């Protein structure tokens, strides 16, 4: 039975896709649900699996081709066996004669009985022995005859000095920008043109959170099957701050302001084959810290294995990005449109701070909030960041919601 492999129905707002990579070649056997081809869209990579066991009879659409939903990509012969490979012939193919003829020195007649030294000189200098005056016994060409002939020839003109060779290679590599990277670039430039972006900073003493993690991390992992990280603390603190400042959770649509009464928090995740993406934790306010950690772990695994879906990247009312995992001390994150703000976390570093008139060393982190000043006033952004700082420096307030 012949089965057509078609481009699946594309997600809403995605017009077409590009054939990124074929995992099988025509004539190869495939198994059911085995990946056949990757389709790259503006937002995610779609994997098309084999619908049944069989042989990939024909590939119709080559890589780098743009396709729309429903287009036939290949033909699968269900239940067929892959053809045996042709045996390699033992006999070698005849060598093709070279097009260009190589000029050779005239052969010396065997009757000349030339000595080995004379033969070597003739071969080295490509000499026509008929031009040499022989002085040896019986008309033989001697070594002295060759040397005299070479000495009498005019010296060749001096060659121009060779250009200096560079110390190292200077190479360039040009590769096409992926659809996702092109779309990211387009959206980032778009938000820079449309939004009035401003960034405010603060710092937070992470001692209390670090001590809490150290005290309960083993019990937490044993009970919930996931490690207790910093991100769940930040998600909980952000949600509480968003409840106090709803405008930070809002977005602009034309001349209207849309206030969201739910909290879908985007978490920037990097390190996968497609670079940085922002999966969304839906209704994060209704989740426990363990649920948040599990969701982040699952998203990280999907990103690493290129299994993230468009639905998991769509929406979001607020985003958190953590440049600290890469060593960033301070940055100004860019808003993820149509959202109006984004929180930037950074590296935790031991620094001297003043507490009760004493200089002590504490694990400190810089925080940054970039926000759209068209919607959010500076005072609201600063107070929003202060709330996060206070909640993290006294995590018990997260439980009491004070």
Mind telling me the catalytic residues? 373, 377
The pair phi, psi for residue 181, each rounded to 5°, is -65, -40
Among residues 187, 184, 196, 186, the alpha carbon closest in space to that of 341 is found at: 196
Rounded distance between C-alpha atoms, residue 288 and residue 239, angstroms: 12
Tokens of 126: 């490509």
Spacing of C-alpha 63 from chain mean position:
18
Q: CA 20, CA 178: separation in Å to the nearest integer?
A: 9
Q: What phi and psi, each to the nearest 5 degrees, are found at residue 235?
A: -60, -45
d(CA 220, CA 358) in angstroms, rounded, equals: 34
Residue ranges of alpha helices (H) inside 245-355 are 289-304, 310-313
**Which letter does DSSP use for residue 325 in this model?**
G
Beta carbons within 10 angstroms of residue 300's beta carbon = 17
Helix intervals (H) in 195-328: 207-224, 231-244, 289-304, 310-313
């Amino acid at each position: 039975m012949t089965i057509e492999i078609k481009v699946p129905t594309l997600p809403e707002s995605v017009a077409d896709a590009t054939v990124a990579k074929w995992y099988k070649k025509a004539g190869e056997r495939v198994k059911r649900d085995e990946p056949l081809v990757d389709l790259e869209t503006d937002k995610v990579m779609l994997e098309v699996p084999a619908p049944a066991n069989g042989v990939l009879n024909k590939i119709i659409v080559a890589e780098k081709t743009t396709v729309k939903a429903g287009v036939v990509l290949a033909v699968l012969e269900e239940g067929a066996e892959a053809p045996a490979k042709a045996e390699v012939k033992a006999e070698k193919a005849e060598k093709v004669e070279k097009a260009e003829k190589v000029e050779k020195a005239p052969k010396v007649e065997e009757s000349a009985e030339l000595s080995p030294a004379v033969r070597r000189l003739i071969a080295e200098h490509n000499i026509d022995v008929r031009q040499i005056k022989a002085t040896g016994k019986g008309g033989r060409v001697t070594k002295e005859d060759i040397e005299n002939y070479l000495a009498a020839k005019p010296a060749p003109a001096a060659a121009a000095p060779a250009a200096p060779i560079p110390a190292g290679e200077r190479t360039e590599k040009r590769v096409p920008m992926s659809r996702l990277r092109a779309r990211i670039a387009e959206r980032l430039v778009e938000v820079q043109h449309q939004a009035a972006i401003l960034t405010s900073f603060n710092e937070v003493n992470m001692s209390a959170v670090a001590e809490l993690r150290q005290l309960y991390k083993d019990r937490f992992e044993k009970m919930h099957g996931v490690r207790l990280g910093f991100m769940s603390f930040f998600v909980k603190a952000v949600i509480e701050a968003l409840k106090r400042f709803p405008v930070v959770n809002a977005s602009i649509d034309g001349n209207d302001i849309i206030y969201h009464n739910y909290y879908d928090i985007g978490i920037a995740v990097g390190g996968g084959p497609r670079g940085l993406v922002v999966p969304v934790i839906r209704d994060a306010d209704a989740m426990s810290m363990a649920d948040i950690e599990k969701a982040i772990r699952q998203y990280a695994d999907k990103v690493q294995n290129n299994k993230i879906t468009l639905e998991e990247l769509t929406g979001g009312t607020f985003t958190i990005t953590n440049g600290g995992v890469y060593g960033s001390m301070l940055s100004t994150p860019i808003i993820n449109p149509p959202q109006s703000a984004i929180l930037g976390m950074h590296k935790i570093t031991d620094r001297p701070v003043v507490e009760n008139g004493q200089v002590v060393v504490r694990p400190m982190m810089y925080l940054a909030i970039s926000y759209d000043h068209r919607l959010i006033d500076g005072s609201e952004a600063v107070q929003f960041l202060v709330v996060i700082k206070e909640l993290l420096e006294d995590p018990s307030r997260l439980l009491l919601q004070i």
